[in-house]
Amino acid sequence: MNALEFFTAELAFRTDVSDVQQDRTGLVLVDSRGAEAWRQSHIPGAVHMPTREIATRAPAELPKDRPIVTYCWGPGCNGATRAAIEFAKLGYEVREMIGGIEYWQREGFAVETPQGKQAQDGDPLTTVVDTSRCDC
């Protein structure tokens, strides 16, 4: 595999939080973390489906004609990768959202919490704070 093939494949199987925020039309966003993590905070509109439940729940609950995007905690966690594998085994079109919920929040995007929907200011170490796009 050469560099062009590798990076093209990377974009085919991964997406980032900014791209998901910009266009969630048609995709199903799946939070693969456990129940406590989900209750702590999750992305509005996401489906909660822990990795260990995907094989049994997904065929009955999620359409196969919409792309799936998985997320977990963040770059230090490979839970979204493991969840993507489970969806791929079932024949779903699937991508992993790199950065997970950590970078979703660090970019200033809202999450659902027990106290309701909340957002924080963008982190200048991870995003441009004066706009909603990094233009990369």
So which residues are the catalytic ones?
A: 72
Is 59:91 a contact under the CB 8 Å cutoff? no
Beta bridge mates, 112: 42, 117
CA dihedral 32, 33, 34, 37 (to 10 degrees): -140
Q: Give the whole-angstrom CA distance, residue 102 versus residue 65.
A: 28
